[in-house]
Amino acid sequence: MMDNSDTTHDACWMRGDPKVIGVGRVRSLLIHPERTLSYWVFAVVTAGTMPVQIGGMQGIARPGEYFLLPPGVRHFGTQESPFDTYWFHFDIKGGAPGTEPAGQADIRLRLIGQMPSEIDYCRWGGWIKQCLDTGTLSLYDVRIQLMAIFGQIMAEDRKRLVASSGDGQIAQRTLEFLLQNFRGSARSDDLSAELGYSYGHIERSFRRRFGMTIRQKLMAIRIDEATSLLQMGMPLKQIAQETGFSDYYYFIRVFTRLVGTSPGRLASRPGRQASLRRRT
């Protein structure tokens, strides 16, 4: 039986861009038929369950999860169960788990995995299907959507993998604290109280995960926000206050060091996107 939380043993590999050959929706009370296809199938389960055997692996895809059927791999439903899915048929260079040539994969997806929880993929699938039916999207356009989905799934898998380690959990919670509190003092005592660890332990975990100190990351977040506010035309002194700098001249020094130019000079070049040079 497949463990849907595993991120390695059942990963398919793909390389290049997919050529989408079909998109549709299936709602059924019947068992999934046994078959072997010549193309890939990516399906998102929106309701019910999909008990399925894919090659030598067996698992259940639930709402908010996907299943991936590689070409040339026998698959079938293992029991009758109502299900509702949006599916994508596509061609791409790649293969089933265990067949990846060294360094050949751009995309790695498990046979059954979780969709990112922040996005309503039920409504998204309906939108794709409607746009195809009305001619406002082509199958070529759907290729871009599919690649975006794959990237989001891989990013979420990496996030879950990092969060599963002790250091990863501490570092991720620290980053979330900084993002929520960078406009204020973001004090080390408050961070320790929030996470329940000494600041020294949090600092070491953060550096191992991100390769920089907590303070360096805090300054980078503040200056990144300051750059956006500057391009929106906000006055410099107000920007300093909005991004957690109580000392205006210290804000100028940090901005200049990280961005490579002073905020005043950047403001005199409207439309120019700052490139942050974070020196860690």
If asked whether residues 130 and 21 sit together in one domain, one would say yes
Q: Are 122 and 48 in contact (CB under 8 A)?
A: no
* Predicted local confidence at residue 102, as pLDDT: 60
* Predicted local confidence at residue 103, as pLDDT: 67
Lowest-confidence segment of 108-112, 116-120, 123-127, 164-168 by average pLDDT: 164-168
Measured CA distances, 15 to 19, 103, 147, 172 (Å) = 12, 10, 11, 30
Nearest to 54 by CA among 122, 114, 111: 111
Could you report the per-residue pLDDT of 233-279, keeping only the tens digit for each? Answer: 899 999 999 999 999 999 999 999 999 999 988 887 655 444 444 43
Residue 280 is assigned to a structural domain of this protein? no
Residue 262 is assigned to a structural domain of this protein? yes
Domain count, the chain: 2
If asked whether residues 21 and 141 sit together in one domain, one would say yes
Select from 163, 198, 227 the last residue of a domain. Answer: 163
Domain span at 142: 11-163
Q: Are 88 and 43 in contact (CB under 8 A)?
A: yes
- What number is the average pLDDT over the span 181-190? 90
The reported pTM is 0.66
Residue 279 is assigned to a structural domain of this protein? no
Residue 185 is assigned to a structural domain of this protein? yes
If asked whether residues 200 and 149 sit together in one domain, one would say no
If asked whether residues 229 and 138 sit together in one domain, one would say no
Select from 163, 191, 221 the last residue of a domain. Answer: 163
- What number is the average pLDDT over the span 211-235? 93
* Predicted local confidence at residue 229, as pLDDT: 92
Residues in Cβ contact with 107 at an 8 Å cutoff, skipping those fewer than 6 apart: 13, 14, 15, 94, 150, 154
Residue 35 is assigned to a structural domain of this protein? yes
Residues paired with 48 in a beta bridge:
83
> What mean pLDDT is reported for the chain?
87
* Predicted local confidence at residue 104, as pLDDT: 64
Rg of the chain over Cα atoms, rounded to whole angstroms, equals 24
* Predicted local confidence at residue 10, as pLDDT: 66
Could you report the per-residue pLDDT of 37-68, keeping only the tens digit for each? Answer: 999 999 999 999 999 999 999 999 999 999 99
Could you report the per-residue pLDDT of 68-104, keeping only the tens digit for each? Answer: 999 999 999 999 888 999 999 999 999 988 887 766 6
Query: Which residue type does 248 have?
Result: Y
* Predicted local confidence at residue 277, as pLDDT: 42
CATH assignment of the domain containing 43: 2.60.120.10
If asked whether residues 222 and 247 sit together in one domain, one would say yes
Residues in the chain, overall count: 280
Q: Are 85 and 25 in contact (CB under 8 A)?
A: yes
If asked whether residues 116 and 212 sit together in one domain, one would say no
